[in-house]
């Protein structure tokens, strides 16, 4: 029961969650099972449903390395909506990807400073799945983000630990044979 199983409805969402799990050093498996339109991270009979619930639970269960190294949770969490819209869009994404790169014009390594954050993972996950021309600066940044996939994935977290705490923005719903954890922040 210790391994996490990831079920995602599209490649951008799968990439997003895989990068986040790799950043945390947490091991996972990918399931091809139908998600009924919602990303799910499960362990035994416990399911984390929705990106926001997964983000908050991972940060609670494994605070280091943080998804919010500068303490700013609001903007990176709000990027979920933007990432989903960009992933679904069939329009040219060059202008939006240019906005991402302008954030690093001051020489920083990542969008919010010198450490990988949820903001980088959100942006990279849709850029990686789009056919857009990548400048040398963008490719270097993407390489830094993707380097988390080289992390050792030895860490095991236990979703059942979420059942004994009250965690801001997480809702626990016990059903017959399973527990569903979601977030009212889901967009």
103-137: pLDDT as tens digits: 888 889 999 999 999 999 999 988 888 777 888 88
Q: Do residue 38 and residue 79 come from a single domain? A: no
Q: Do residue 135 and residue 115 come from a single domain? A: yes
The pair of structure tokens assigned to 98 is 């240019």
101 in any annotated domain: yes
Q: Do residue 83 and residue 130 come from a single domain? A: yes
Q: Domain count for the chain, please give it.
A: 2
Query: How far is residue 146 CA from its own chain's centroid?
Result: 13
What is the rounded radius of gyration, in angstroms, for the C-alpha atoms of the chain?
A: 16
pLDDT tier, 187 (very low <50, low <70, confident <90, very high otherwise): low
Q: Do residue 91 and residue 104 come from a single domain? A: yes
162 in any annotated domain: yes
Opening angle at CA 69, ends 167 and 14, nearest 5: 70
pTM for the model stands at: 0.89
Is residue 83's pLDDT more than 90?
A: no
pLDDT tier, 150 (very low <50, low <70, confident <90, very high otherwise): confident
Is residue 36's pLDDT more than 80?
A: no
Q: Do residue 116 and residue 175 come from a single domain? A: no
Better pLDDT: 146 or 12? 146
38 in any annotated domain: yes
How far is it, in rounded angstroms, from Cα 102 to Cα 62? 31
Q: How confident is the model at residue 34, as a pLDDT?
A: 63
Sole residue written with tokens 């969650």: 17
166 in any annotated domain: yes
H/E element, 56: helix 51-61
31 in any annotated domain: yes
Of 83, 79, 140, 130, the C-alpha closest to 108 is: 140
Q: How confident is the model at residue 114, as a pLDDT?
A: 92
Q: Do residue 9 and residue 30 come from a single domain? A: yes
How far is it, in rounded angstroms, from Cα 55 to Cα 183? 10
Q: In terms of residue numbers, what domain contains 13?
A: 4-65+151-182
Sole residue written with tokens 């035994």: 44
187 in any annotated domain: no
Q: How confident is the model at residue 3, as a pLDDT?
A: 83
Is residue 87's pLDDT more than 90?
A: no
């Amino acid at each position: 029961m210790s391994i996490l199983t990831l079920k995602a409805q599209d490649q951008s969402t799968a990439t997003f969650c895989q990068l986040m799990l790799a950043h945390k050093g947490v091991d996972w498996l990918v399931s091809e099972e139908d998600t009924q339109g919602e990303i799910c991270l499960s362990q035994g009979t416990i399911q984390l449903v929705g990106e926001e619930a997964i983000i908050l639970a991972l940060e609670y269960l494994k605070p280091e390395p943080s998804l919010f190294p500068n303490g700013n949770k609001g903007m990176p969490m709000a990027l979920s909506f933007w990432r989903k819209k960009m992933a679904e869009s069939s329009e040219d994404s060059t202008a939006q990807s240019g906005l991402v790169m302008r954030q690093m014009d001051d020489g920083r390594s990542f969008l919010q400073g010198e450490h990988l954050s949820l903001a980088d993972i959100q942006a990279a996950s849709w850029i990686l799945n789009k056919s857009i021309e990548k400048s040398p600066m963008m490719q270097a940044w993407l390489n830094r983000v993707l380097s988390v996939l080289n992390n050792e994935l030895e860490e095991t977290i236990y979703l059942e630990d979420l059942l004994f705490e009250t965690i801001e923005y997480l809702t626990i719903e016990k059903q017959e044979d399973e527990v569903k954890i979601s977030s009212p922040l889901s967009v």
